[in-house]
Amino acid sequence: MKSKQVTCIICPKGCQINVKMNGNEIVSIENYDCKRGLEYAKNEVLDPRRILTTTLKLSSGRVLPVRTKDPIPKKYLKKAMFELKDVVITPPIKVGDVVAKDVVGTGIDVIATGNAK
């Protein structure tokens, strides 16, 4: 049986959650202070995900801040960065616009977090 320690990042309390695993199965989860932490710890050991934040090139030569609309599997972060590095987008773009669809086949889009006229 393996034990993993997960630092919950959902709130500033930062609970150190202990997850005991038997292979790929969770046997027990301890030391969380709320349900959100319990869910976070489960996801973190079974399918860790992160929001990817980066910039995309604009046709004007400048760059625009963007992020994935939802968290993507952590294992695809580098691949997604590679896929997005050559994407060039054309204004006008406003916050929330989808600027790249289905990043690395995850079904998750990339949206603008800034405006470009």
Site residues (vs ligand SF4, CB under 6 A): 8, 10-11, 13-15, 32-34, 36-37
CA distances from 99 to 13, 62, 84, 115, 117 (A): 35, 15, 10, 12, 14
Nearer to ligand SF4, 15 or 84 (CB): 15
Q: How far is the CB of 12 from ligand SF4 (least distance, A)?
A: 7
Nearer to ligand SF4, 6 or 112 (CB): 6
Nearer to ligand SF4, 50 or 75 (CB): 50
> Residue of minimal CB distance from ligand SF4?
37
CA distances from 31 to 20, 23, 115 (A): 12, 21, 42
Tally the C-alpha atoms within 13 A of residue 70's C-alpha that lie toward its C-beta: 8
